[in-house]
Amino acid sequence: MKKPLLLAVVLFFTYSFSSAQFAELGLAGGTSLYSGDLSPEEFGVYFQELNPAYGLFGRFNISKPFSLRVGITQGELTGDDSLVRDRDGVRGLSFRTAITDIALTGEYNFVRIGDENGIQIVPYITGGVAVYYFNPETELDGEFIDLQPIGTEGQGLPGYEEPYRLAQAAVPVGGGLKFIFSNRITIGFEFVGRRLFTDYLDDVSGNEINYLDIFEGNGELAARLSNPLIADPDDADVVYRRGGRFSDWYYFGMVTLSFNLGEVGSFGNKGYGCPTNF
């Protein structure tokens, strides 16, 4: 089954890129949003964690229904336990991270409503693959400290996981609405989430950990950041889980502006000039 599927994919891209396409270059700006162990249940509270995001992208319109897009997006994600109400109890945890996201996605345009020589409205869905870089940190005594090297959940110790990687893969999925003006300029509104393969975007997982293991193996700072509520291990429950009810995701809600660069012919032979309807 794998060989016929691989052959079909190769033939599809070979046909697509040997045929005439129409390329766009665009800018994106909007917000980034985190969802995970340190995010609230109530969606309304999420708006306290909205952060700015921006990016660049190129779009190749293979046909009217299908487009390919490659882009890079930069944003910031934050989460704070103090915003969580009546969920897992207050744990004294918070984080922030810059996020750099490079994605290759396909867009399926459901329908084009309007005049090709005027304004067209195009709803679409999108999905693909992405790689991203993150580096969670938290504030302690007025300074921000990188969390991954510390091992707040025993990473690197016997019986615990290895340190998580700061560059990982994700699966973008979402949708949007495009407004195309005379096939020259496109303005879009989209909301796209990233399905992650790690639960450590926020440095918090559902694994069971022992405070004394962290203290003895990774040091006092790691133990303090692992569970800030423990003042005296002799008088506390030293085995606990810091999170686990929610998988980590991040989202981009963006406004996009792109310009039609004209036709891109067989395998990169460019024909710039007046845009042609596609």
For residue 183, the model assigns a pLDDT of 87
Pairing of strands 21-35, 51-61: antiparallel
At 39-85, the pLDDT tens digits run 866 555 567 789 999 999 999 999 889 999 999 999 999 998 877 65
Nearest 5 degrees, angle CA 171-CA 177-CA 178? 110
In the predicted model, is pLDDT for residue 96 greater than 90?
Answer: yes
At 241-262, the pLDDT tens digits run 888 777 899 999 999 999 999 8
At 114-163, the pLDDT tens digits run 988 889 999 999 999 999 999 999 999 889 999 999 999 999 999 999 99
For residue 116, the model assigns a pLDDT of 81
Query: pLDDT-derived band of residue 221, with 50, 70 and 90 as boundaries?
Result: very high
Distance of CA 233 to the CA centre of its chain: 37
Query: pLDDT-derived band of residue 274, with 50, 70 and 90 as boundaries?
Result: very low
For residue 246, the model assigns a pLDDT of 75
Distance CA 123, CA 100 (A): 27
Structural domains in the chain, sorted by start: 24-204+246-263 (2.40.160.20)
Residue with the larger pLDDT of the pair 271 and 192: 192
In the predicted model, is pLDDT for residue 272 greater than 60?
Answer: no
Share of the chain above pLDDT 70, in %: 80
Query: pLDDT-derived band of residue 17, with 50, 70 and 90 as boundaries?
Result: very low
Residue with the larger pLDDT of the pair 54 and 270: 54
In the predicted model, is pLDDT for residue 167 greater than 50?
Answer: yes
For residue 3, the model assigns a pLDDT of 55
Identify the burial level of 141 via C-beta atoms within 10 angstroms of its C-beta, where 0-12 means exposed, 13-18 middle and 19 or more buried: exposed
Kindly state the average pLDDT of the residues 181-208.
Answer: 94
Distance of CA 2 to the CA centre of its chain: 28
For residue 92, the model assigns a pLDDT of 84
Lowest mean pLDDT among 6-10, 184-188, 212-216: 6-10
